[in-house]
A and B are shown apart, each in its own frame.
Chain A
């Protein structure tokens, strides 16, 4: 069965510092991996995805994520955090082998960027 773990309920970082939001996954085959963000009173917004190719993928708002197959991780990173990055971040996986198209999400990590 597919699963996603986001080990941190909350990540606190000062503005201007680098940030990392962790995600590990478990699937039966090679995964499709996604990051979504939810700002207050808004829906889920797509940030970035890993499908194939370069392990480092770049997405919206200066975010990037690195696919690490050996560690089954897909951590979200940003070199310099902004206060406006404060939001709820969800990692998700889709299994490309079984044919099931649903996304399996983690529990979410709240990012709080302080001025």
Chain B
């Protein structure tokens, strides 16, 4: 069974540019999460999809971030325009149920804004 896959693994962009990160969850997992780790700090929640609906987007830092999950399958996270403080590792995770099951994480996308 394929795990959670994220693309690209690394991205270096200039301030002001746009970047789109993609996440393919484990097949059949309705729940999809985005998290971010800024250098040396905790991994912070960004948002949670249940199928194609945003269940909780309380962690989205500002309106430069837009997440979508078309058809309840893969998800994209777009940052436009990117700022220096957006640099970090963006993790995607998926889970089959929510309450007492663990989430499975992808390898992350390392975003560097210069």
A residues at B contact (CB < 8 Å)? 4, 32, 34, 36, 41-46, 49, 51, 90, 92, 96, 100-108
Contact = CB atoms under 8 A, between A and B. Distances in A.
B105 A102 contact: no
Interface residues of B, number: 29
A43 B106 contact: yes
8 contacts: A32-B100, A43-B91, A43-B106, A44-B91, A44-B108, A102-B33, A103-B35, A103-B103
B56 A102 contact: yes
Contacts, number: 60
Contacts of A108: 42-43
Nearest to A92: B43
Give the most central of A104, A105, A106: most B CB within 10 Å.
Answer: A105
Contacts of B58: 102
B99 interface: yes
B42 A4 contact: yes
B22 interface: no
Contacts of B42: 4, 105-108
A104 B45 CA distance: 7
A108 B43 CA distance: 8
